[in-house]
Amino acid sequence: MPLPLFALALSAFAIGTTEFVIMGLLPDVARELAVSIPRAGLLVSGYALGVAVGAPILAVLTSRLPSKAALQWLMGVFVLGNALCAMAPDYRMLMIARVVTSFAHGSFFGIGAVVAASLVPREKQASAIALMFTGLTLANVLGVPFGTFIGQNFGWRTSFWIVAGLGVLSFAGIAALVPKSKGAGAAGLAREVRVLREPQVWLALAMTVLGFGGVFVVFTYIAPILESVTGFSPRAVTLVLVVFGAGLTLGNAVGGKLADRALMPSLMGILIVLALVMATFARTSHTPVLAVLTVFVWGVAAFATVPPLQMRVVEKARHAPHLASTLNIGAFNVGNAGGAWLGGMALSHGFALDALPWVAAAVTGAALVVTVVAHRLDGRRAAQPQRAPERVC
């Protein structure tokens, strides 16, 4: 794989670390800024909403720039946002700084996925996207635990300064390794917006919302499930989440390889496996050993969906991919928020914790239905006779 992909993976590692490290630092942040834990928890929601709302805005603002310049500009926003987080004097300013940081998230992954795909032959494009997203999975396995340790021992602000430093290194890596490209100009912006008229682009976004939304129906409440249903201690839950992170990393690589071979059949197969694993977890969550094994397989299946889902949007918006690819990153976050909301609604209406995997399986099943519909539409379009070019007399 080309060296520029490793610069993109380092950037993804930095972005993933800053997104999730706040979860381990919530008590420290709440204590220093004199707010409640639930209010501090809104810093997670604010970031996710910032990704969903800010991604298309920055995609439009950077659409006329060359891809390399856009990535550097976005990483500059990322460094600024993390520095503001480290210096925030109160809760309000920390929330603003988190939203500023989140604006760079969606656009960077959206444009970065397009750049990653452009660096390799077509038959390796999904694997290239997967390699970039490996940075995100490693952030969960390495970055977040390390950032939490640093924050708990040296103050939560130190964690954000370190992430800002990673952002500076990422900026330098992009400057040194990512090849230059021409800007799209005003015509490029028009093409980017026009691609949203394509029904297949919207179907791809719906596949992402539902396919990843099902994961977060359970993942949002994984700690109480493992503690109350399985019987693990809080310390043991942390170790189980590391196992889940290892599954994510493996699944990301597997998903890229499968998508390169056969994109839509692979995605349908992965969604079937994900739904079955979720349904199985409703039973295995009661037995510690089986629960850990299921969580690992769940992690593999969950992130195996990411490269094909992202590649599907890039493929269907091939002539104007930046905005569509960025919107798909927002769709992942809409799925995250929607899955968390649906899981909470199920619990508030009397569902037990061990019933959430069934809800997740149903959402994943809906994603499978949308994927089958999109695949059949592909087949119908391929079967239609091509119009012969008109003769010019």
Secondary structure letter of residue 287 according to DSSP: S
User: 207 with 370: CB under 8 angstroms?
Assistant: yes
Average pLDDT estimate for 364-372: 95
pLDDT of res. 268: 95
Average pLDDT estimate for 229-237: 84
Q: How far apart are CA 170 and CA 7, in angstroms?
A: 6
Q: How confident is the model at residue 286 (pLDDT cuts 50, 70, 90)?
A: very high
DSSP states of 119-185? TS-GGGHHHHHHHHHHHHHHIIIIIHHHHHHHHHHH-HHHHHHHHHHHHHHHHHHHHHHSPP----H
Q: Write the CB contacts of 385 (distance below 8 Å, at least 6 apart in sequence).
A: none
Is 158's pLDDT higher than 90?
yes
Secondary structure letter of residue 65 according to DSSP: S
pLDDT of res. 393: 37
pLDDT of res. 386: 55
**pLDDT, greater one: 324 or 178:** 178
Q: Which residue, among 305, 303, 325, 330, has the nearest Cα to 315 in the 3D structure? A: 325
pLDDT of res. 172: 95
Using DSSP, state whether 390 is helix, strand or coil.
Answer: coil
**pLDDT, greater one: 123 or 161:** 161
Is 195's pLDDT higher than 80?
no
Q: Write out the two tokens for 299.
A: 């992690």
**pLDDT, greater one: 188 or 142:** 142
Q: How far apart are CA 154 and CA 159, in angstroms?
A: 8
Question: Which regions of the chain carry the CATH code 1.20.1250.20?
Answer: 1-183, 184-382
Is 305's pLDDT higher than 80?
yes
pLDDT of res. 327: 80
Is 391's pLDDT higher than 60?
no
**pLDDT, greater one: 62 or 360:** 360
Q: Which residue, among 134, 158, 108, has the nearest Cα to 13 in the 3D structure? A: 134
> Tokens 């800002």, residue?
164
Average pLDDT, the chain: 85
Secondary structure letter of residue 64 according to DSSP: T
184-193, 219-228, 283-292, range with greatest mean pLDDT: 283-292
Least confidently predicted of 23-32, 34-43, 186-195, 247-256: 186-195
Q: How far apart are CA 59 and CA 50, in angstroms?
A: 13
Q: How far apart are CA 66 and CA 179, in angstroms?
A: 10
Is 340's pLDDT higher than 70?
yes
Whole-number Cα distances in Å, 392 to 311, 385, 387, 389:
38, 21, 15, 9
pLDDT of res. 320: 66
User: 321 with 114: CB under 8 angstroms?
Assistant: yes
Q: How far apart are CA 137 and CA 157, in angstroms?
A: 23
Instruction: Choose the CATH number for 184-382 among 1.20.1250.20, 3.50.50.60, 2.40.110.10, 3.40.50.300.
Output: 1.20.1250.20
**pLDDT, greater one: 228 or 141:** 228
Q: Write out the two tokens for 204.
A: 């791809």
Q: Which residue, among 110, 158, 154, has the nearest Cα to 11 in the 3D structure? A: 110
Q: Write out the two tokens for 285.
A: 């969550």
Q: How far apart are CA 316 and CA 360, in angstroms?
A: 27
Whole-number Cα distances in Å, 35 to 29, 40, 84, 256:
8, 7, 19, 42
Least confidently predicted of 142-146, 225-229, 291-295: 142-146
Per the document, the length of the chain is 393
Q: Which residue, among 352, 331, 355, has the nearest Cα to 201 in the 3D structure? A: 331
38-47, 255-264, 284-293, 303-312, range with greatest mean pLDDT: 284-293
Is 203's pLDDT higher than 70?
yes
Please give the CATH number for the structural domain made up of 1-183.
1.20.1250.20
Q: How far apart are CA 109 and CA 139, in angstroms?
A: 14
Q: How far apart are CA 217 and CA 389, in angstroms?
A: 50
Query: Which tens digits make up the pLDDT trace of 84-97?
Result: 999 999 999 999 99
Q: How confident is the model at residue 56 (pLDDT cuts 50, 70, 90)?
A: confident
Determine the longest span between alpha carbons in the chain, in angstroms: 80
Q: How far apart are CA 331 and CA 313, in angstroms?
A: 11
Is 165's pLDDT higher than 70?
yes
Using DSSP, state whether 389 is helix, strand or coil.
Answer: coil
Residue % of the chain over a pLDDT of 70: 91
Helix (DSSP H) and strand (DSSP E) numbers for the chain: 16, 0
Average pLDDT estimate for 197-224: 86
Q: How far apart are CA 3 and CA 173, in angstroms?
A: 9
